[in-house]
Structure 1
Amino acid sequence: MMRQFIAPVLAGALALPAAAMDLKALTDEERALFRAEVRAYLMDNPEVIMQAVELLQNREAEAQEIADLTLVSDNAGDIFDDGFSYVGGNPDGDITLVEFLDYRCGYCKRAHDEVAKLLETDGNIRLIVKEFPILGEQSVIASRFAVATKQVAGDESYKAVNDALMAFNGDVTLPALRRLASTFGLDADAIEARMDSDEVTAEIAATRALAQKLSITGTPTFVMHDEMLRGYLPYDQMKAIVDEKRG
């Protein structure tokens, strides 16, 4: 008799706060019977568990999206206009895409081509690159080299080095970076001397501090307009989000 009531009771319990269903109001015998019937129902209908998990995941995702909107709004100045991060694409674009990246990150390397395709096919995207080395000492060396290149030789040289480091698959060492600088006709001595400067350290530290405020713990992480996008996204997905932002 009780089993026919388990489905609606269980569905109601899942929809209510935990405190709303008080098993303490039942007698020991009623509580044991209820638990046995719930277990039997779940064994007969295991899809209910998956539905509950999906409901929980959807609620958590919605809560994360709301929290991210607030984080982006509260830190908009540092995200979109910090005064030092590389700005590419169309500087006057109607959509700004910000990427936190690490040169040793495999997904960042995959995303690099997707972002390049987006910029190529859509001439109205403003790109901001945030150097966020989190995968060890070689990541730090690569980012210091990239930032030093920007400070010494300018944005065009930074873009060339950024592309090259994303395509590079060997160990990141100073000799390898010096050869890379020479490939682009850059002053390797000046860049190497700049790498450990206070200016380079301050730029990377500022990006780390911003990432901490935004609860960013992995790369790539994107901010597009008012939305945070955590993880790798293929071109089609990025394009769909751009179209959605434009309305």
Structure 2
Amino acid sequence: MIRSLWIATALATSLALPAQALDLEQMDDTERAAFHAEIRAYLLENPEVIMEAVAVLEERQAAAQAQDDVDLVKSNAGAIFEDGHSWVGGNPEGDITLVEFMDYRCGYCRRAFVEVHDLLEKDGNIRFIVKEFPILGEESTVASRFAIATHLLHGDEAYKAVHDALIAFNGAINEATLSRVAETLGYEPDGILDHMESEEVSDIISQNHALAQQLSISGTPSFVMANQMLRGYLPADEMLKIADEIRTQ
């Protein structure tokens, strides 16, 4: 914020003073002192200009970031939307694709789980992809390995069941608890546990981490909706509005 104020002050001053007064290299010490005095006097008389300039600056920065995000999504579209290993839900034929990078130990991911469910219920034309992106420690990685191994061995329905169970699970994530999760859902745990450390599972996690790095994603949840990056938790109604805006573009 301090840096923004400094930049905005310079912007406000440049707009308020004659162009020739800004050639600092051509000023002598007396002229430079007078220039500084003019800046101070102007800002004291018109302090609201600083906040107006800050607002303009922030709008421009936000627009630039949004365009950068569009470019990032475009250049990584294949890995984002068609990686061949991520679970696909919602409406597979939907006109908009929503991708979530998530971690099972992330509190905001748990809140987002409910919001995404509501979104998919309210808008039946969204294709939804989950990217396993464990970043919050060993238990996060173990949970993702278990979910991915389940998907590889037992398919989409089994993955969805395990995913939903793990996102709601509050206990320690270890071999014993994962075995109970599998058994409760009707799956033999040993095969899943054996496959968790496979090269295939490790490669999927590595690909997801590499993609997140390309997209400048460092936290969860993070979303891609169509060509837009949605960085952080959003309620369903806000995501619905964004989806409607995308459809009208």
Q: TM-score, normalised by structure 2?
A: 0.88
Match of 1:229, SS state, is: strand
- Count of aligned pairs: 236
Q: Does 1:64 align with 2:65?
A: yes
Q: Which amino acid aligns with 2:31?
A: E
Stretches of structure 1 that go unaligned for 5 or more consecutive residues are 1-8
Residue in structure 2 matched with residue 95 of structure 1 by the alignment: 96
Q: TM-score, normalised by structure 1?
A: 0.89
Aligned-residue offset at 1:14: 6.1
Aligned-residue offset at 1:230: 1.0
Residue in structure 2 matched with residue 5 of structure 1 by the alignment: none
Residue in structure 2 matched with residue 114 of structure 1 by the alignment: 115
Residue in structure 2 matched with residue 128 of structure 1 by the alignment: 129
1:1-247, aligned counterparts within 5 Å? 11=12, 13=14, 21-247=22-248
Decide which moves more: 183-192 or 39-48: 39-48
Q: 2:15 & 2:130 partners in 1: Cα distance? A: 43
Q: 1:196 & 1:10 partners in 2: Cα distance? A: 56
Query: What is the CA RMSD across the aligned residues, in angstroms?
Result: 2.1
Q: 1:102 & 1:123 partners in 2: Cα distance? A: 25
* Distance 1:139-1:22 versus aligned 2 partners, 3 A rule: farther
Structure 1 runs (4+) deviating above 4 angstroms are: none
Contact persistence 2:11–2:53 (CA under 8 A): no
Q: Which amino acid aligns with 2:53?
A: A
Match of 1:98, SS state, is: strand
Stretches of structure 2 that go unaligned for 5 or more consecutive residues are 1-9
Contact persistence 1:14–1:52 (CA under 8 A): no
Q: Identical aligned pairs, as a percentage?
A: 61
Q: Which amino acid aligns with 2:221?
A: P
Q: 1:117 & 1:26 partners in 2: Cα distance? A: 63
Contact persistence 2:100–2:224 (CA under 8 A): yes
Q: Which amino acid aligns with 1:199?
A: E
Aligned-residue offset at 1:12: 5.9
